[in-house]
Structure 1
């Protein structure tokens, strides 16, 4: 006898019937039952699914939403989690409310986040700061000012998106801020001195080198507590197994790589374009247009680079049990001898 599903049909027919029922429900405005709003809408095991998720998370239009729209989205999400569904609410509207809510409210504390610290502010803020860093990079005062602005913005973002379980202390935040700013400025000034006698095009890549160096300093320092005490690791079902510093190292490495690659297109492509444009009559006649053109070019790159680089690694990352610390391995093998991989949140 062929195996049958709960709907009384063969498994494949049962799946088809479920999809048809779900589609009809969505088209008629009815919500499918048991939508898990704790998980993203798209399959996070694929790059396409992760990219779709982050294109929504980093949508710059969310910073234009009013307080009333934000509060309405929060109410829809909270009501749905309590089993209260407003009449006529569709699945698309529910997911839209979920992403608006996530874009503005801290996932652990529920507090409204600082506007410029939200993920939806990443593109407009970074395009402005990066564009200016790449335009005004020739003098020491300009390097000092824009690297300071950039690291101040990074500090706001890191503080805004801090973990609710292990918040940063003022000393940790200050140490990371001062160290990253010093590292970025030292890198920029040092490379500027080395590139004075080479092609101007090479000099345009100095800000990128400074940003890359700052990321390598800033992120590990901002997450130093995770490196000391570890981050929670779970089984596939989310059951907590312990804390691992090895998992923290992998998570932080993935975030550093993502952040550097995120900055790369916006800081590597425009220099070639600007180097060509500045030789043309238009910019020689209107040199003040260099900054807005550069900001626009950087912004165009970041609109795509930000979500695509966030999606490079799964948010719910994993590693082999054999890669964990010996003590944690022994604990897991004693309680879960069949377990081969553990999972953890890599952060952003």
Structure 2
């Protein structure tokens, strides 16, 4: 390909404007698409090679802009934005729909006895721990001990909330019992994510200028990023775990539906899948993945360091909030 036909794009920035919600939605719809799970290891490696070649200024002959963006979205779906390492298949955001629908379907179906609650919450928190670790800010190391502490704490929290509310719900309308799994999941997310990423809270996350120049580490940015992720995960789960139980409770009043008990689990699982198909990219789009914070809101030592080095030229810093 001659030089004047070489695609000229910023491969390290998303295709769509990330300052708008709909720009972020288009971006995350592309990189969380569960169909990308079908890509072979060879296709993923080829996508990485193409992206890195273009970054190095060695665009292969015949590559179009469409080819580059297809490769970049495949690369973003499987490789961590900080480390560049290939992520665990089951922890990728592309696995959120099939994985989440299976786990949530079980949560919504088996919620009545303490044994069911314990088993389902253990399965759910095991899946959540894997997702949280896979999508952490990889610039901050998390030890095995910290991971296990986060896992045990979140599972215990979810179990305590679920069993407590389950006991209360026996005196409440049936729909309340169906909402218990969501309350447990929301509570556990508020514990699991911060504990899984506690090294960021202790040491801070790497912050940079708009151009990517490293400025240091900030605990305040870590708190902001993690709180946004917690909210996004709760929003992601909410529609399927709030509205689907209402639908189930409505159908459960029909004798024909009660007779089809065998169909309840697949019905709920598919229903969750429909909700998650839309909610995974939507929840990821609520906040920019490349988060920012005003210099004036940083720790005092960072403010002093940045002002000393750059004066008033740097007004905001940037960091990866994770997913």
**TM-score under structure 2 length normalisation:** 0.94
1:271-314 Cα offsets, whole Å, 9 max, x none, are 11111111223322211101111111111111111111111111
Bigger mean CA offset, 92-101 vs 210-219: 92-101
Q: CA deviation at 1:162?
A: 4.0
Q: Which residue of 1 aligns with 2:30?
A: 56
How do 1:1-348 residues align onto structure 2 when only pairs under 5 Å count?
30-33=5-8, 35-338=9-312, 339-348=314-323
Unaligned runs of 5+ in 2: none
**Structure 1 pair 251–148 and aligned structure 2 pair: CA distance change class (3 A):** same
The 1:239–1:109 alpha-carbon spacing in structure 2 relative to 1, beyond 3 Å, is: closer
Counterparts of 2:82 and 2:23 in 1: how far apart (Å)?
Answer: 24
Name the residue aligned to 1:4. Answer: none
Q: Secondary structure at the match of 2:206?
A: strand
1:199-246 C-alpha deviation (Å, 9 max, x unpaired): 101111100000000011011111111111111222222222221111
Q: Is the 8 A contact 2:25 2:285 kept in 1?
A: yes
Per the TM alignment, residue 174 of structure 1 is displaced from its structure 2 partner at its CA by 0.3
Q: CA deviation at 1:108?
A: 4.2
Deviations 1:9-42 (A, max 9, x none): xxxxxxxxxxxxxxxx9xxxx5422x22221111
Q: Using the alignment, how far apart are the partners of 1:113 and 1:239 within structure 2?
A: 25
Contact 2:135–2:322 (Cα < 8 Å) also in 1: no
Question: Which one has more relative contact order, counting CA pairs under 8 Å at least 6 apart?
Answer: 2
Contact kept in structure 1, 2:295 and 2:303, CA below 8 Å: yes
Contact 1:138 1:192 in 2 (8 A): yes
User: In structure 1, how many angstroms separate the alpha carbons of the residues matched to 2:181 and 2:230?
Assistant: 17
The size of the alignment, in residue pairs, is 320
Q: What is the CA-CA distance between 1:342 and the residue it aligns to?
A: 2.1
Structure 1 unaligned spans of 5+ = 1-24
Cα distance between partner residues in 2 of 1:166 and 1:185: 29
The farther-off stretch of 72-81 and 191-200 is 72-81
Q: Distance in 2 between matches of 1:51 and 1:125?
A: 21
Report the secondary structure of 1:204's partner residue: helix
Contact 1:137 1:143 in 2 (8 A): yes
TM-score (norm 1): 0.87
Contact 1:162 1:168 in 2 (8 A): no
Whole-angstrom CA distance in 2 between matches of 1:321 and 1:110: 28
Deviations 1:174-197 (A, max 9, x none): 000000000001100000001101
Quote the Cα distance in structure 2 between the aligned partners of 1:121 and 1:158.
Answer: 13
